[in-house]
C-alpha cells in the first residue's frame, strides 16, 4: 500500500520510478536481457542466432530439465543488484529482481507448474550466510501466483561451484539432492543465478526420481560462459 501511495525511486539509479514499478524507463530499457538464448539451458547466444535452436552443449549433453526460463544476463546493473540481494540480504533488491523475473516469464509460464521447488542451500551454508535467496524468491512467487511450494534437501555440503568448469560442476553435484515424492507431473525449479545449469540439472534428476514427468528450470539471470 505504501509503495502505491508514495512516489517510488528506481532500484538502479534512484531516479523517479514508473508508476507501480521499482525502476525507471531508462534503466529498464538498458537492462541486459537474455536474448537470444538457448531454449534448453538459457546460455546467451550471439546476436542473430535463432531463438529456438539449442546450443552445442545441449545437443551433446541435453539437460534433464525440458527447458529454461531465464530473462536476464548476469551482467552490469543486474549483477550489482543480485550481489546486494544475495550477500547483503537486501529486500529492496530482491523485490526488484522478483518483479523482473515475473515480467520476463512468457505468458502462461506461471500457470504451467503444479509444484515450485527452490534450489536449497545446505543447512550449514544457510546458517553461515543467514539468508537463502532462492527460498526468499520462491516463497513470494508462490504467494503471488497461488503456486504450490515444495522443498528439496541437499544430501551433502558440496564444495563451492566458483572456479569450477562445466564438467567439474556436474561431478561436484552428482546425487547432491533429495526430493520426497510423489511429485506431480509438472515441476518448476527456481534459483537466483544460473551458471552452467549443473545445480538445476542435479535437482531435476532428483525430481524425476520422485515422480515428476517434466521439469523446467527458472532463474532470474544467466551467467554468460565467456571463454568456454
* Predicted local confidence at residue 181, as pLDDT: 86
Contacts 24+ apart (CB under 8 A), 91-98: 92/11, 92/22, 93/11, 94/133, 94/136, 94/137, 94/140, 95/11, 95/22, 96/11, 96/12, 96/22, 96/23, 97/137, 97/192, 97/220, 98/137, 98/140, 98/141, 98/220
Tell me the range of 13-27, 123-137, 148-162 where mean pLDDT is highest.
Answer: 13-27
The answer, yes or no, to whether residue 70 has pLDDT greater than 60, is: yes
Domain boundaries, the chain: 37-73+108-222
Question: Does domain 37-73+108-222 sit in CATH 3.40.50?
Answer: yes
- Band (pLDDT 50/70/90 cuts) for residue 228 is very low
Task: Measure Cα distances from 210 to 112, 117, 152, 207, 213 in Å.
Answer: 19, 13, 11, 5, 9
pLDDT tens profile 101-117:
999 999 999 999 999 99
Strands 67-69 and 72-73: unpaired
pLDDT tens profile 147-205:
999 999 988 655 555 555 556 555 656 668 999 989 999 999 999 999 989 999 999 99
pTM: 0.88
Amino acid at each position: 500500500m505504501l509503495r502505491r501511495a508514495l512516489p517510488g525511486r528506481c532500484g538502479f539509479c534512484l531516479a523517479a520510478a514508473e508508476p507501480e514499478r521499482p525502476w525507471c524507463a531508462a534503466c529498464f530499457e538498458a537492462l541486459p536481457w537474455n536474448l537470444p538464448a538457448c531454449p534448453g539451458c538459457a546460455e546467451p547466444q550471439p546476436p542473430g542466432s535463432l531463438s529456438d535452436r539449442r546450443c552445442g552443449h545441449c545437443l551433446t549433453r541435453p539437460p534433464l530439465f525440458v527447458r529454461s526460463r531465464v530473462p536476464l544476463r548476469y551482467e552490469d546493473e543486474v549483477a550489482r543488484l543480485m550481489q546486494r540481494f544475495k550477500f547483503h540480504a537486501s529486500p529492496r533488491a530482491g523485490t526488484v529482481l522478483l518483479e523482473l523475473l515475473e515480467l520476463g516469464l512468457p505468458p502462461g509460464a506461471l500457470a504451467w507448474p503444479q509444484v515450485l521447488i527452490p534450489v536449497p542451500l545446505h543447512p550449514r551454508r544457510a546458517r553461515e550466510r543467514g539468508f537463502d535467496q532462492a527460498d526468499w524468491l520462491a516463497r513470494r512467487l508462490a504467494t503471488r501466483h497461488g503456486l504450490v511450494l515444495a522443498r528439496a534437501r541437499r544430501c551433502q555440503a558440496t564444495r563451492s561451484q566458483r572456479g569450477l568448469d562445466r564438467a567439474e560442476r556436474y561431478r561436484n553435484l552428482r546425487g547432491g539432492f533429495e526430493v520426497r515424492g510423489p511429485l506431480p507431473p509438472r515441476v518448476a525449479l527456481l534459483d537466483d543465478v544460473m551458471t552452467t545449469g549443473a545445480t538445476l540439472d542435479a535437482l531435476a534428476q532428483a525430481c524425476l526420481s520422485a515422480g515428476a514427468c517434466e521439469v523446467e528450470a527458472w532463474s532470474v539471470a544467466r551467467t554468460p560462459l565467456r571463454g568456454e
